[in-house]
Chains A and B, each alone.
Chain A
Amino acid sequence: MGQRLTGAEILLESLLAEGVDTVFGYPGGSIITVYDKMYGYSDRLRHILVRHEQGAIHAAQGYARATSRPGVVIVTSGPGATNVITGVADAMVDSTPVIVITGQVGNAMLGTDAFQETDVVGMTGPIDKWTFQIRRPEDVAPAVAKAFHIASTGRPGPVVLDFTRDAQVGLADFEYHPCTHIRSYSLPAPADEAAIEAAAKLIDDAERPFVVFGQGVVLSHAEEQLKAFLKKGGIPAASTMLGLSALPSDFPYYVGMAGMHGNIASNMMTQQCDVLIAVGMRFSDRVTGNPFTYAPKAKVIHIDVDRTEIGKIIPVAVGILGDAAEVLGRLTERIRFSFHDEWAALARRYDRVEEERVAIPETRPQEGPVNMGEVVAKVAELSGRKAIIVTDVGQNQLMGARYSRFAQTRSFITSGGLGTMGFGLPAAIGAKTGAPDRQVCVFVGDGGIQMTIQEFGTIMQEGTAVKIVLLNNNWLGNVRQWQELFYGKRYSQTHMLNPDYSLIAKAYGIRYRCVEDRAELEDAVREMLDADEAFLLDVHVRQEGMVYPMVPGGRRMDEILLNNEEWYRDGE
């Protein structure tokens, strides 16, 4: 028989038993008992007090992505719960393990429109991996155990525990048993032998094999298996945006990012390959363009841990349900040593065009205002590829993805599927909290930073040394880009009058420097990277900056715009 504790204490003990040392949260009326008990746990459990619940969940996402451990969020009922909803949906589509504990009113008041009562179970069910309402103190420990098991196994995702007041204040015996089995929830089984065999044969027979990998490689810790597979098969590989940093940027078989703003080589080779091996990715429309014209010559092999992803968008020749590390390991054993030198060398030809036509003008302009890509490239150069790069959403994200360079995995954190503006700043706080020894830089626009700018308060209180690079162009740049290209330059509601960020930084005690002139950029980036504390680098970038290359939405992936007027023509 265990100790007799309140449900609130059982929650905290259970978190400790799961190895949690940091939680992100915000107190309130329906979670006050948990916060009261937390007072006695401050030596074992670090609580990061955010300034808005959305900040808590994005921070927990950043923490999880940087560390591979589930992020934990504690918030109150009603508005506390609804304020985390965006992050729950974001974590679901981006497969991020997060445990969200929402306070809830007492059992007798459920369904009575009580103060700060809302239907959390009903709201989160469609957008999370699992929701459970804890109504009795004896259910707390088993629910937490199940939550961690579900959030972090299979395809990871967010889990919501709706914790009623009765369950918080009531007493129960505490004993913790980690969950390892749920009868209706099966863990990834070893992949089907026949499927592996069929895939190996397709790969051996291929003349132009091509890999597109996603975050699944990172989530299953399959980076080394992927490298071995590519080396043995002599197969060039592209990454989705969420797969970035799974392979080092200079890995010989790596040809860059796929998708709407991906590298020319990735997209052109996708359209030409005869076997496409998709690993831990979900064929997002930002990757495929028009799915009916995607990889038209390819037999597709899709490796994923989530059965519903296989064949969901792109029909497959072979679907392999399983864990990426296991499947890649077994495939590598099966395939022949191969070389596809001529095919792989195509990438260098495309790279030369991209370098000349897009990358050099963007990152090394001689005159005019500072470019966004120029700033990103400078940070990549001076940080020695060691930083964790976090981005918000929009042009800052696309530039961050295109011009950052990586040497180790788990170094790129962004909101992919949901595309949540406001994600960047709190996610960077979470990443730095989880990986305090690493440099953490966040690229954010003047639109996105204002969506969660209140988290400057968290940085101030916690002393979180994040480096914030504000790519400030006074526009909602990505929407502006679409308006310029596809909506007849009718710039409807995308111009923004900005506050004086130096005063905001000063108010929060955050070091600040503004760059308007290219000549100052290098020195300013160096000063920011060398700082031991948080730093806001406010770079006034070209107002009409555009992200290229671009495959306009719904097009074929080889219909690539190089600039405002020119389409890429193969053979250039």
Chain B
Amino acid sequence: MTNGKVKVATVWLDGCSGCHMSFLDLDEMLLTIVEKATIVYGPLVDTQEFPEGVDVTLVEGAVANQDDLKLVQKIRQNTRVLVALGDCAVTSNVPSMRNWVPVKKLLERGYIENATETLQIPKDGVPALLRQAVPVGAVVQVDAHIPGCPPSAAAIGKALLDIAAGQPPKLAGMVKFG
């Protein structure tokens, strides 16, 4: 906590950023949340390294490559309450639709068979894909889940305020898969 405010981080792994869009859809509720929370890391702020001593991290997206895996493990170490935000983080959702295809075949299909120019599989500057895209809960302990594609802004806001008040989020009736 800083100045009595909960330190919140948001992270975007293998997802479409739709959950972050839904987060921004909180509109005027953001004003209430800003009184109780401060965002210390994520696509919405300019911090390079994931900080230590974070109270709540909202993780959007499935864990699909080596970078995702390393980051989510660091997040777990540095976070008190880790929240899987949205279906990709909770169930692996759309990113997992490649999971029954071996990675080599998958990349060949995308970058060679279906490409017309520069027929090569990118290697430099991109992290290696994991064998399967998996939910966050499959690699680290998750403290709360907010399903939905995307979850409603109201559900995200309720979860944050519940956690800020020291309660586990009570989202019954507010969320569904898909």
Same complex: no
